[in-house]
Amino acid sequence: MIYDFDEVRAAELARELDARAVRSYQEVIEADDVDAVLIASPDHFHTEQALACLAARKPTLCEKPLAPTEDEARAVMDAEVALGTRLIMMGFMRRFDPGYLELKDTFGPEGIGDPLIIRNSHRNEIAPYGLDSALSSTTSSRNCAAGGRWCVSTACRPALASTASSPTTGSLPPRPRGTSSVRGIGASPSSATPPRS
């Protein structure tokens, strides 16, 4: 079962996947034949949709962030705790990214050693639903921070986040399409190879 704001897109994808398209996310959540829900909508819808999934007691994979504000995230967490069971899992997709898996394997005593610095860069090839530099700081950068922390299997210290100097000229060089922008600098930086995607 598929719901998308764009009904034509939902219908096309439903045909392609031999699924059925519905006209609201509530229909997906409330359907008896839906065992679990994936929330992959714009961030400002996550709170409402996660709470609806909890009310329906549906296991849910929610893309980051859980909610756009701390108060909303706490409301979702409180609702889940009140149910007495864990139903929401956050989508830490970098843990399954081939580039991140390869990078993680290069660390530790069997590899190049423990990392001293991890530098993450994230560049969207397009800006979905109005994503700008400010939103990137609170959305896409979470993936880099969570992925970097997972790679090193330890807590991270504070870091600096910066954005391009302008949307058109930016301070970061272009990245070839389909390449990962994660770089790890460890005990032997010359032996670290950029991860592949």
Where residue 169 falls among pLDDT bands split at 50, 70, 90?
very low
pLDDT at 183 over 60: no
Convert 55-68 to b/e letters by CB count within 10 Å (16 or more is b): ebebebebbbbbbb
Contacts of 114 (CB under 8 A, 6+ apart): 107, 108, 152, 186, 187
For the stretch 54-75, pLDDT in tens is 999 999 999 888 998 899 999 9
The pLDDT confidence band at residue 119, using thresholds 50, 70 and 90, is: confident
pLDDT at 197 over 60: no
Q: pTM value? A: 0.65
- Token pair of 170, please? 């930016």
Euclidean distance between the first and the last CA atom of the chain, given in angstroms as a whole number:
29
d(CA 85, CA 7): 34
The residue ranking higher by pLDDT, 191 or 144, is 144
Domain locations in the chain? 7-93, 94-191
Residue 11 has pLDDT above 80, yes or no: yes
pLDDT greater than 60 at residue 194: no
Map tokens 């609201």 to a residue: 24
**Looking at domain 7-93, does it have CATH number 3.40.50.720?**
yes
